[in-house]
A and B are shown apart, each in its own frame.
Chain A
Amino acid sequence: MKFVSHLDMNRFMTRLVNKAKIPIWFTEGFNQHAYFNFAVPLSLGFEGQYEILDLRIIDPAYSNEQLVADLNKESIPDIEFVKANEPVLKMKEIAFAEFKIIFEEVFAEKIERFFAREQIITQKTTKKGGTKDIDIAPLIKKAELSGNELTLILTAGNENNLNPTLVLSTLFELEQFKAEYSVVRTMIYDKKMQPFI
């Protein structure tokens, strides 16, 4: 869902679990609400193909298959639930995310030259609102161009999360060109580059 922000997505899920009558665990206290957690927020404008959602079911008899079926029954066509399983890894073990960048126009030479650099210095806004120079080259695990499709594997998770928008804006700035593109997040990996489950 391209036009949905992370906040919107949370609102959507709250309503979806109510509507689908999922026996989900509610937080306690004053403002009780259904508890769930999207592992890695997806930026507005991106599509996601492998998104991870963590939630807790309180009915032991309620199967994972049932959960997926119930959610899909009430969801909208653009948001589909694929699979549910017991958590294998902890959220903090998320290490990388894979993106497909589809360019409308390709500047293969410039793109390849950019990713071949040893150092890619860019400015990142800090939490305090200032900017600081960082080298993003070590955070780019893979960059492979094939036709007009660029596959990027970037560090993800709480620390060192690298947003592809920053990579691309740096690319345009340093290589001095501009191209329209769209972004799909295709996979989320753990440290061993295994699909996160």
Chain B
Amino acid sequence: MNEKEFERLLLSVQKPGRYSGGEINSVIKDKSKIDVRFAFCFPDTYEIGMSHLGMKILYSQFNAREDIWCERVFAPWLDFEEVMRKNNIPLFALESRDAIRDFDFIGFTLQYEMCYTNVLNMLDLAGVPLKSADRDESYPLVVAGGPCVCNAEPLADFIDIFFLGEGEEVDLEVIDLYKEHKKNGFNKAEFLKAAAKIEGVYVPSLYEIEYLPDGKIKSITTKDNAPKTVRKRIIADMDNCFYPENFVVPFIQIVHDRAVQEVFRGCIRGCRFCQAGFIYRPVREKSYEVVNHQAKCLCESTGYDEISLSSLSTSDYRELEPLLNNMLEWTEQNHISLALPSLRIDNFSEELLEKIAHVRKSGLTFAPEAGTQRLRDVINKNVTEEEILSTCKTAFEGGYTAVKLYFMMGLPTETDEDLKGIAELGQKIVDMYYSMPNKPKGKSVSVSMSVAVFVPKPFTPFQFEPQITKEEMERKQAYLKSCITTRKIDLSMHDSSTSFLEAVFAKGDRRLGAVLESAYKKGCKFDSWTECFDLQKWNEAFSECGIDPDFYSLRKRDYDEINPWDHLDYAVSKEFLIRENKLAHADTTTPNCREKCSACGANCYGKGVCFERR
């Protein structure tokens, strides 16, 4: 297709900037000097994918190597997909506009389950057979990483290689192995066998799953000497690990349009519903000097006038005070706004507090997740009502009039009492506001509460738990609504059909591959977008494949049942998860990693919070 023609097609769709490339800091290389071409695919729109930090890190790191050219690919939106299919434009990479069908690797990052149909759609748009078994040596290798890989069994038929854990090291080891194999006549099967020997590499085709008559897993066995369990990789030394000096700076507005600086990985807290809190263990921090330096470089190379700090819980960063002191110096001078997350500021100096006061604050938000202290103990979320009320009070005194709270519904052991607690907490905030003599004059308060449906996830203490049924959810929603009596509280409860599907795929096994393919063929894609999600089609797909989705999501699993992900090792042991599950049912909290080690198993890497002096 000639340039003119292509441009005209681009101009016929919404937001052509999604597909045009050519942004500041995008990497162009001379093809003739490249050994390995890697298509880094984010199975969602440009605006979402471009906001993702992991992609930026790997993009820069791959491209730092002279022999690799890594390019970006996003899922085309419906309008452009139609144009592509009509004009036979195969899925291309933004930098070179070359078809990714001719690349060495097609790599996906799997951030949420609801993107799986987009993975299939992108493979199809690329002109590549969907199933790993149908792709011979003439096709690119299809690989995937990201948090969903901790149970990506539903995608096992489609992906050649999964990378477990953090990709910085293992991805390059696999690329190097690939280069070596290419020298001596490339044989895919041989290569996969060899790759499986690298720690952190999971080749699903080398594992055989047998099922019991009741549908549960009987056994997981390996072929060709593949390891019995695959352990995730982590970067142990965060100060010396690669961090990009620049980001591609988009023309069009993306979701998080700013520089992002990582401060640590992992989370000390161990909230029992939170997958990220377990699969990224142990906590590993960067020193504040390194964070400060990297942040400054990033702002200089991108020209961004806004930077945010990234981690699962930035207020737990031990060197936050020296970091902010250092960062505020140059950000203020250069008119850069530092976006701070809500912080626990109890032990900051007066001076720093004053400085922070100048920084534009983001809204006042809390995530108590549950309405009563009992249930918060069950989920190990250590936010107390006093904390919320006292923080709100300070904020109201400072002129705030709006607060946002996030909750979940359908948590293990939840009763109506706990739901009522959600409404009561909101009411207490409203009452407190009106009882304040020094409340902002002439303004009314607004408390918005958003309640999502709980999705049990692998590698959490709640992996054994069922999700609530649709009927139960509807009943709970109606009850909660009836508990709210003031118009100052704005209650939003999401349409949860996607949560149900998410639970099925989160805890699903390989047999769901057929359902995915069938749903995809019926036209399911962009399932996380309400305007695209079509439950009807999904239900048809399940019944055509003879698969009962409730088997995966609504069943309480025994501790000794073999889970589809039990051959994957994320360094938190199943014994630990069982211990935690029992503690949850006894309404008992677990101290965070800094207070006391709970022997989850993640100390096996010899680094991180497990070895801090307590």
Chain A residues with CB under 8 Å of chain B are 1-5, 7-9, 11-12, 14-20, 26, 32-34, 44-45, 74, 76-78, 180, 182
Contacts and interface: CB of A to CB of B under 8 A. Distances in A.
Interface string B297-309: 0011111110000
A12 B16 contact: no
A18 B24 contact: no
Contacts of A5: 17, 252
Contacts of B8: 180, 182
Contacts of B33: none
B305 A18 contact: yes
Given A3-B16, A3-B17, A34-B335, A15 B303 contact: yes
**Closest 3 interchain pairs by CB?**
A15-B303, A19-B303, A18-B303
B496 interface: no
A113 B273 CA distance: 72
Contacts of B334: 18
Nearest to A45: B11
Interface in B444-503: none
B251 interface: yes
Contacts of B544: none
B253 interface: yes
Interface string B229-255: 000000000000000000001011100
A161 B302 CA distance: 35
Interface string B273-312: 0000000000000000000000000011111110000000
B4 interface: yes
A3 B304 contact: no
B24 A19 contact: yes
Contact of B251 (A3, A26, A33, A34): A3
A19 B303 CA distance: 4
Given A19-B301, A76-B24, A12 B335 contact: no
B23 A3 contact: no
B10 interface: yes
B17 A17 contact: no
B20 A3 contact: yes
7 contacts: A2-B16, A3-B16, A3-B17, A4-B17, A19-B301, A45-B11, A182-B7
Interface of B: 4, 7-8, 10-11, 16-17, 20, 22-24, 249, 251-253, 257, 299-305, 334-335
B23 A76 contact: yes
Contact of A2 (B11, B257, B305): B11
A67 B587 CA distance: 65
B24, B301, B302, B303: which has the most chain A beta carbons within 10 Å?
A: B303
A138 B522 CA distance: 55
A28 to B, nearest CB: 11
Contact of B253 (A11, A19, A26, A180): A11
B335 A33 contact: yes
A4 B300 CA distance: 23
A76 B252 contact: no
Contacts of A44: 11, 16
A7 B257 CA distance: 14
Contacts of A182: 4, 7-8
B251 A11 contact: yes
B7 A2 contact: yes
A15 B16 contact: no
Contacts of B22: 1, 76-78
A24 to B, nearest CB: 10
B528 to A, nearest CB: 25
Contacts of A9: 251
A12 B251 contact: yes
Contacts of B17: 3-5, 8
A12 B4 CA distance: 24
Contacts of A2: 7, 11, 16, 20
B24 A4 contact: no
A126 B7 CA distance: 30
A124 B252 CA distance: 28
B141 to A, nearest CB: 32
A134 B24 CA distance: 42
A19 B300 contact: yes
A34 B305 CA distance: 10
A8 B253 CA distance: 7
Contacts of B16: 2-3, 44
A32 B300 CA distance: 18
A7 B22 CA distance: 17
**Which among A12, A18, A34, A180 has the highest number of chain B CB atoms within 10 Å?**
A18
